[in-house]
Amino acid sequence: MADSDESGGRGLKSVERSFEIIEYLRQVDSSTLSETAEDLDLAVSTAHIYLTTLLKTGYIVKEGNEYRCSFEFLQTGGERRDEMALYQAAKPQLDELQEETGEHTNVTVEERGYSVQLYKSQSPKSIDDDASLGDHFYLHLTATGKAILSKFSEERVTEIIDRRGLPALTDDTITDEDVLREELKEIRERGYSINQGEHFPGVCAIGTAIVSEPDGALGAISISGPLSRITPERIEEELAPALLNTKNIIELKIRQYE
């Protein structure tokens, strides 16, 4: 989910075009020179210049006649993630929570009005939306996203809704702003959010924000699994207490890093 010129200022078209090509290769996995030129409406000679330049940087590679993104992005993103106190504190606790509950657990952060998945501890017994690390989601349709939104000011929520909208991925996605704001009030009172098939059909998740003063919501953690197992009774009696206990431990660990 890329945005063009979010600052509203002037940008270099060549840089923008380079990242358009990178995003294109990410989406299609691999592409030839002619395919890239045709799909991006570029002259073949122009596409060749961009691809050759990106090859020199190491951020794309060429295998036969196919171009694809390289693992440089893994190193860049991995280093950024590994330096985060939230990730360092959350990873071992989420592994424990996954073993305790038998369901997937994960941690996300907010960036540019999206929720970004940093880490997921997967249980062989459970299922979820099968999202990859680094995937970007709309905040209003995931448990972690709604938990993060619940910690934002009304003005910040308005800004994100105006910027990203409230698109639906399933029939259960909240697309009405008033309904969303009412749910955010309930999340603040309850301490955790619930996503019942709003992001992926048949999957339920509960989430809670990780808070650190004075930074506010650093991110959020969640437990997810099939709707048939993540029942209201189980949420109230087992999963919510376990999730909130894990939240407390993570927040205490983060304070030790400060």
Q: What is the pLDDT of residue 10?
A: 59
Burial 8-44 (b: 16+ CB within 10 A, else e): eeeeeeeeeebebbbebbeeeebbebebbbeeeebee
pLDDT at residue number 103: 96
Which two structure tokens, joined as six digits, stand for 131?
């999202």
Longest CA span, the chain:
63
Report which secondary-structure segment, H or E, holds 84. none
78-257 has which CATH code?
Answer: 3.30.450.40
Mean predicted confidence (pLDDT) in 196-209: 95
The confidence score (pLDDT) of residue 258 equals 66
Extents of the domains making up the chain: 13-70, 78-257
Q: List all residues 6 or more positions away from 247 whose beta carbon is below 8 Å from its beta carbon.
A: 208, 209, 210, 221
Q: Would you place residue 80 in the very low, low, confident or very high pLDDT band (cuts 50, 70, 90)?
A: confident
Cα torsion through 28, 115, 169, 227, rounded to 10: 120
Position 7 pLDDT exceeds 50: no
Q: Which residue has the tokens 């409406």?
A: 41
Taking the CA atoms of residue 97, residue 103, residue 107 and residue 113 in that order, the dihedral angle to the nearest 10 degrees is -150
| Cis peptide bond upstream of 214, omega within 30 | yes
The pTM assigned to this predicted structure is 0.81
Retrieve residue 180's tokens: 């969303």
**Model confidence band, residue 72 (pLDDT cutoffs 50, 70, 90):** confident
Where are the extended beta strands (E) located within 142-202?
A: 193-196
Order the strands of the 114-121 sheet from edge to edge. Answer: 136-138, 114-121, 104-111, 216-226, 203-212, 193-196
Which pLDDT score, from 0 to 100, does residue 4 have? 44
Both tokens assigned to 135: 């995937």
pLDDT tens for 122-155 read: 998 887 767 777 788 999 999 999 999 999 999 9
What contacts 92, CB < 8 A, 6 or more positions away? Answer: none
- Token pair 């087992």 is at which residue? 238
CATH number of this structure's domain 13-70, picked from the four choices 1.10.10.10, 2.40.160.100, 1.25.40.10, 3.40.50.1820: 1.10.10.10
Residues facing residue 39 across a β-bridge: none
| Contact partners, residue 12, CB within 8 Å, separation at least 6 | none
**The predicted structure's pLDDT at residue 90:** 97
- With a cut of 50, say whether residue 2 has pLDDT above it: no
* Whether residue 75 has pLDDT greater than 50: yes
Backbone φ and ψ for 95, nearest 5 degrees, come out as -60, -45
Q: Is the pLDDT of residue 195 over 50?
A: yes
pLDDT > 70: percent of the chain: 94
Query: Is the model's pLDDT at 35 over the cut of 60?
Result: yes
